[in-house]
């Protein structure tokens, strides 16, 4: 008898503990769907199962989440990238798109983040609807799984034993076992000859009833939303039937590519939509399926330019380095784009000498007056090439030129300022001019103040830790390494860390692949131990891992533990939580960090903690100063604060300190635009504009100059508790900061 998964656990929040290594998923050769239900002991498949069909490939981003989610009323996944194809726009406005791509890259792997959110929503809905099985018809070669679908499968398989459902991969009866990186399939039955002598269903995905009536679907399951899950035996890559009359655009692409038709503008638009959805490989496949030799030179160049932009966004630098050279008759700006993207791929593929000529051509062709910001991005990557060639002074001169040109722009371009500041910091660090390196790091990280995401928080501390090590200030270096590790272990999605941060930790080439949590954890532990050893200290691991996470309203923390430079919050209520990642290197780092924390508080019983939490203060940094610590304790209703060996009760005795807390408008704000009836606030990076409500507007008008909480409460006619509530909400929205 087939073992049954655990029953769902009420309405508890979905938490997916993920692991390292290959996930194993059961797979069945489908002889018939009726036989499959018997083998799986599924009594009512129409109620117990959700189906998704990849037999003819995925033709939208997050295909699995879309197909499963539609059957239980989940909303469609949001786009995760900007549009790259916009033929009518002003060319220099593409700099705005570049800025968005920079933000998205700095946040980390947005496909992984989206897949995780979709997995959590899906699992909660499975519980609500009593779904026991997720059925997945596997792709027939050469059709694609889609990397974002593999990420979702990994997470769902990790979660399945704990949340009461099973994933079943279904194969044609005569199919070989698929080879998919990161997945392994445990085949449960023997193959058999596939049925023959019948027409195959030719449309990808779950079948609409009208299409099933047109082509026939003798072995199918009618799903909750009325669509049909067709047996893989009725699918074939050789199906040559004409498409149905009414067909969604993404499915039109499948038939267009199958039949070798080239509607170039349509395919370019569809590639752009797929890129925005996260189907990156599919977007490139669509563009690379266009035969550029069969179209006019300008159209071919625009196809190539779009493919190159996607390749660079994906950090597929080898593809970018192979990019085609432009024809001499093309417009200068198009030629400049193609030379730049090819050179960019080359410099990132260790071909700096070959790249130099193409960078020079791009700079000659791109008008710096007409395309101010795009030209500065071109100078930026040109400076990197000079650095790779060993021409440090020339690289620094280019960065200095960029800095002066940025000052001349009518409005600050925070993305370019950030990149330019970081690049100069790295050059000065390479030259061991540590004072100026720190100055430019400060400039860069100041831009992200109260905007820092998980990658930003870790990266800033990593940079400062390395600087202090170079200076020989070992105590400061250790503090920064502790903070770096605390941020890493508190990150709910370490696999999604930004690729440039992973590169900096591992000292490896830049890659758009999912972060290797185990390698990063190993490297951070080595750095932490070396920093402690520089002070003559030897670290000892704690007896067990203790889960670390970001604090929130449900954390139930009872105690804040603070040392100069860092703080953590401890919760004792309930059973111990498992760390969010189960890899041995990650858990070993956790034990060493917890051991270090426990050494600082020898009279505190860390074995009593079910979990530890950190407060990044809405993208600022770990709470550190007395005011920050008190504000964090008040905000999260933590009754006790321990600084060193001194304990403080967070009660009415703290009211004077609370009243004296200073409130000011957030440095994350770029500008506020007048609106009817309220202001529209724009941020320097990451966040979409926010329209204020009436209470927020009054507060922002009052905070033209910083104020204390007491004065603000009085001026706004609010009691302290109501004012605290408002300020906390505005801090979460990055409108104000408290210190």
| Tokens encoding 159 | 């979660």
CA–CA dist 14, 119 (Å, integer): 9
Q: Is 283 within 8 Å of 275 (Cβ atoms)?
A: yes
Contacts of 704 (CB under 8 A, 6+ apart): none
Q: What is the pLDDT of residue 5?
A: 39
Residue 494, burial from CB neighbour count under 10 angstroms (0-12, 13-18, 19+) = buried
- Percent composition of the chain: helix, strand, coil (DSSP 3-state, to 5): 50, 10, 40
CA–CA dist 562, 709 (Å, integer): 24
Find tokens 């790091």 and name the residue.
441
Residue 262, burial from CB neighbour count under 10 angstroms (0-12, 13-18, 19+) = middle
To the question of domain 659-738 being in CATH 3.90.930, the answer is yes
Tell me the C-alpha to C-alpha distance, in Å, between residue 140 and each of 207, 234, 293, 688: 17, 12, 30, 41
Q: What is the pLDDT of residue 86?
A: 63
Question: Taking the CB of residue 163, how many other CB atoms lie within 10 A of it?
Answer: 22
To the question of domain 266-474 being in CATH 1.25.40.10, the answer is yes
| Tokens encoding 263 | 């509607």
Residues in the chain: 739
CA–CA dist 371, 96 (Å, integer): 12
DSSP bridge partners of 230: 220
Q: Is 639 within 8 Å of 572 (Cβ atoms)?
A: no
C-alpha dihedral, 334 to 280 to 56 to 36, nearest 10°: 180
CA–CA dist 271, 311 (Å, integer): 12
Give the full edge-to-edge strand order of the sheet including 611-614.
548-550, 611-614, 566-571, 559-563, 640-643, 646-649
Find tokens 């929040």 and name the residue.
13
CA–CA dist 154, 131 (Å, integer): 19
180: helix, coil or strand? strand
- Reported as type and span, the H/E element at residue 709 is helix 709-716
CA–CA dist 303, 270 (Å, integer): 12
C-alpha dihedral, 240 to 244 to 245 to 251, nearest 10°: -90
Q: What is the pLDDT of residue 307?
A: 97
pLDDT-flagged residues of the chain (< 50): 1-9, 88
Contacts of 606 (CB under 8 A, 6+ apart): 542, 546, 570, 594, 597, 598
Find tokens 């000498």 and name the residue.
353
Domain ranges of the chain: 23-255, 266-474, 475-650, 659-738
Question: How would you classify the pairing of strands 183-187 and 548-550?
Answer: unpaired
Q: Which residues of 408-442 are buried (b: 16+ CB within 10 A; e: fewer)?
A: eeeeebbbbbbbbbbbbbbbbbeeeeeeebbebbe
Contacts of 140 (CB under 8 A, 6+ apart): 55, 56, 172, 175, 232, 235, 236, 237
Q: What is the pLDDT of residue 1?
A: 33
Give CA angle at 156 (152, 159), nearest 5°.
145
Contacts of 280 (CB under 8 A, 6+ apart): 111, 147, 274, 310, 313, 314
CA–CA dist 705, 514 (Å, integer): 44
Find tokens 């999604």 and name the residue.
496
- Reported as type and span, the H/E element at residue 604 is none
CA–CA dist 376, 354 (Å, integer): 21
Q: Is 373 within 8 Å of 410 (Cβ atoms)?
A: no
Name which of 307, 246, 320 is nearest 281 in CA terms: 307
Give CA angle at 170 (165, 171), nearest 5°.
165
Rg of the chain, C-alpha, whole Å:
28
Name which of 282, 348, 347, 352 is nearest 310 in CA terms: 282
Name which of 638, 657, 620, 498 is nearest 568 in CA terms: 638
DSSP bridge partners of 548: 612
Question: Taking the CB of residue 221, how many other CB atoms lie within 10 A of it?
Answer: 20
pTM, to two decimals: 0.95
Give CA angle at 384 (619, 398), nearest 5°.
95
Q: What is the pLDDT of residue 406?
A: 97
672: helix, coil or strand? strand
Write 621-626 long-range contacts (CB < 8 A, 24+).
621/452, 621/457, 621/460, 621/483, 622/483, 622/486, 622/487, 622/565, 622/566, 622/567, 623/560, 623/562, 623/567, 624/562, 624/564, 624/565, 624/566, 624/567, 625/739, 626/657
Residue 233, burial from CB neighbour count under 10 angstroms (0-12, 13-18, 19+) = buried
Find tokens 């131990």 and name the residue.
529
Question: Taking the CB of residue 59, how many other CB atoms lie within 10 A of it?
Answer: 25
DSSP state of 401: H
| Tokens encoding 99 | 């800025």
* Sign of the dihedral through C-alpha 437, 443, 446, 448: negative
CA–CA dist 625, 629 (Å, integer): 6
């Amino acid at each position: 008898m087939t073992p049954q998964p655990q029953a769902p656990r009420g309405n508890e929040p979905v938490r997916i503990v993920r692991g390292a290594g290959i996930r194993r998923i059961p797979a069945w050769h489908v002889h018939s769907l009726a036989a499959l239900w018997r083998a799986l002991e599924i009594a009512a498949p129409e109620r117990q199962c959700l189906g998704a069909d990849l037999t003819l490939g995925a033709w939208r981003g997050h295909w699995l989440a879309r197909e499963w989610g539609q059957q239980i009323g989940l909303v469609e996944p949001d786009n995760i990238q900007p549009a790259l194809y916009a033929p009518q726009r002003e060319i220099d406005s593409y700099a705005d798109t570049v800025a968005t791509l920079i933000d998205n890259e700095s946040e980390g792997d947005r496909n992984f983040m989206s897949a995780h959110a979709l997995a959590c929503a899906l699992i909660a809905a499975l519980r609500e609807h009593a779904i026991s099985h997720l059925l997945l018809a596997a792709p027939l070669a050469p059709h694609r799984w889609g990397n974002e679908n593999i990420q979702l499968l990994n997470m769902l398989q990790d979660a399945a034993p704990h949340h009461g459902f099973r994933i079943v991969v279904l194969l044609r009866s005569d199919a070989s076992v698929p080879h998919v990186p990161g997945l392994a399939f445990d085949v449960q039955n023997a193959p058999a000859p596939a049925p023959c002598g019948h027409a195959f269903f030719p449309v990808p995905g779950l079948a609409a009833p009208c299409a099933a009536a047109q082509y026939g679907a003798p072995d199918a399951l009618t799903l909750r939303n009325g669509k049909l899950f067709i047996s893989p035996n009725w699918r074939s890559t050789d199906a040559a039937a004409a498409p149905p009359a009414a067909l969604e655009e993404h499915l039109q692409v499948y038939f267009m590519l199958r039949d070798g038709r080239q509607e170039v503008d349509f395919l370019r638009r569809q590639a752009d939509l797929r890129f925005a959805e996260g189907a990156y490989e599919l977007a490139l496949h669509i563009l690379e399926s266009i035969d550029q030799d069969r179209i006019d030179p300008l159209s071919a160049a625009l196809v190539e330019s779009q493919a190159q932009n996607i390749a660079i966004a994906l950090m597929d630098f080898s593809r970018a380095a192979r990019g085609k050279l432009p024809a001499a008759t093309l417009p200068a700006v198009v030629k400049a784009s193609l030379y730049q993207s090819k050179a960019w791929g080359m410099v990132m593929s260790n071909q700096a000498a070959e790249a130099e000529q193409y960078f020079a051509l791009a700079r000659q062709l791109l008008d710096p007056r007409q395309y101010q910001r795009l030209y500065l991005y071109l100078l930026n990557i040109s400076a990197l090439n000079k650095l790779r060639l060993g021409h440090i002074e020339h690289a620094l001169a280019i960065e200095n030129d960029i800095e002066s040109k940025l000052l001349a722009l009518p409005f600050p371009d925070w993305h370019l300022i950030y990149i330019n500041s970081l690049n100069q910091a790295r050059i000065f660090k390479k030259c061991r001019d540590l004072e100026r390196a720190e100055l430019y790091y400060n400039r860069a990280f100041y831009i992200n103040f109260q905007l820092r995401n998980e990658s930003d928080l870790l990266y800033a501390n990593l940079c400062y830790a390395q600087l202090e090590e170079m200076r020989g200030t070992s105590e400061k270096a250790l503090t920064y390494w502790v903070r770096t590790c605390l941020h890493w272990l508190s990150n709910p999605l370490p696999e999604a860390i930004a690729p440039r941060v992973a590169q900096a930790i591992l000292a490896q080439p830049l890659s758009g692949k999912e972060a290797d949590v185990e390698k990063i954890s190993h490297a951070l532990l080595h750095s932490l131990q070396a920093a402690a050893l520089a002070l003559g200290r030897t670290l000892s691991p704690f007896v067990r891992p203790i889960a670390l996470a970001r604090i929130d309203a449900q954390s139930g923390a009872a105690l804040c533990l603070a040392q100069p430079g860092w703080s953590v919050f401890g919760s004792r209520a309930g059973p111990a939580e498992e760390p969010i990642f189960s890899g041995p290197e990650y858990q070993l780092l956790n034990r060493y960090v917890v051991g270090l924390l426990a050494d600082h508080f020898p009279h505190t019983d860390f074995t009593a903690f079910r979990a530890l939490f950190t407060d990044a203060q809405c993208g600022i940094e770990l709470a550190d100063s007395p005011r920050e610590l008190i504000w964090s304790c008040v905000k999260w209703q933590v009754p006790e604060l321990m600084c060193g060996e001194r304990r403080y009760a967070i009660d009415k005795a703290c009211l004077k300190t609370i009243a004296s807390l200073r409130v000011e408008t957030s440095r994350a704000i770029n500008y506020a635009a007048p609106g009817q009836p309220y202001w529209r606030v724009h941020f320097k990076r990451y966040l979409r504009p926010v329209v204020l409500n009436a209470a927020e507007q009054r507060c922002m008008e009052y905070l033209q100059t910083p104020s204390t909480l007491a004065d603000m409460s009085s001026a706004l006619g609010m009691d302290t508790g109501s004012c605290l509530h408002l300020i906390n909400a505005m801090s979460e929205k990055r409108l104000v900061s408290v210190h």
